Amino acid sequence: RVNIVLTKNKNYQVKDAVMKDETPKTVWQTTKLVYGIKEIPEDGEDFIVMKSMISKTFSCLEYLYEQELVQRDYRDGRLYYGKM
What are the DSSP calls for 29-84, one per residue? HHHHHHHT--S---SHHHHHHHHHHHHHHHHHHHHHHHTTSSEEEEETTEEEEE--
Q: Is the pLDDT of residue 2 over 80?
A: no
- The Cα–Cα gap between 59 and 54 comes to 9
**Average pLDDT over every residue of 3-27:** 74
**Average pLDDT over every residue of 34-46:** 85
Residue 15 has a pLDDT of 86
Quick one: CA dihedral 67, 33, 75, 52, positive or negative? negative
Mean pLDDT of the chain: 84
Q: Is the pLDDT of residue 22 over 50?
A: yes
